[in-house]
A and B are shown apart, each in its own frame.
Chain A
Amino acid sequence: AQKITQTQPGMFVQEKEAVTLDCTYDTSDPSYGLFWYKQPSSGEMIFLIYQGSYDQQNATEGRYSLNFQKARKSANLVISASQLGDSAMYFCAMREFNTGNQFYFGTGTSLTVIP
């Protein structure tokens, strides 16, 4: 089974609107972390937001928030007030802290912000 699943290969959003990028995960490790990275066309991987499996509240970082639904094993990224500079690939990732600490990446979602 896939550890991280991103079902949206491509998404479009109007500038200034909010957009949700989906991510589901699969793990039996009770201690894990969920991450979102942004990859613009330049290639660098930019860390956006982190959610720990034991965190009670959803993580927020500026215009980014993570909608963490533990029972459903989902960790959707919400970008509010989209900007043209948000156009990029977005990767969801998971790290299992009790099982080797390896990172697992999803296949990514290409987001295009329309002016």
Chain B
Amino acid sequence: GAVVSQHPSRVICKSGTSVKIECRSLDFQATTMFWYRQFPKQSLMLMATSNEGSKATYEQGVEKDKFLINHASLTLSTLTVTSAHPEDSSFYICSADGQPSGNTIYFGEGSWLTVV
């Protein structure tokens, strides 16, 4: 079964509004969570690394004021897309470290964001 849960799976919002995406680790404590963005037919692009209780580390070119990341607990990280624009429409997916076993990272189901 899923070890990382992401919600919502699909969201449509109006341009100028903000939308929050949640990433939860199930049955384990995620010391680190990663947020990715994926454009159609492309690979995953790491946006930021989120550590519980500290500020997220953003990759070069990612606007930290636009993509707010909060990792308030060991099981929850949130990505808020602020003042969304149509060009923010994309597939966003999270993953969590501190996995139950092995060295792998498990991913959430992903969230399709459409800004109209």
Residues of A within 8 A of B (CB): 33, 35, 37, 42-47, 50, 52, 91, 95, 97, 101-103, 105-108, 110
Contact = CB atoms under 8 A, between A and B. Distances in A.
Contact of B104 (A35, A97, A107, A110): A35
5 contacts: A33-B104, A44-B93, A91-B44, A103-B95, A107-B43
A43 B104 CA distance: 19
Interface of B: 32, 34, 38, 41-44, 46, 49, 91, 93, 95, 97, 102-110, 112
B43 A50 contact: no
B46 A43 contact: no
Given A44-B109, A45-B95, A50 B44 contact: no
Given A33-B103, A35-B104, A97-B103, A43 B44 contact: no
B112 A43 contact: yes
A43 B93 contact: yes
A45 B103 contact: no
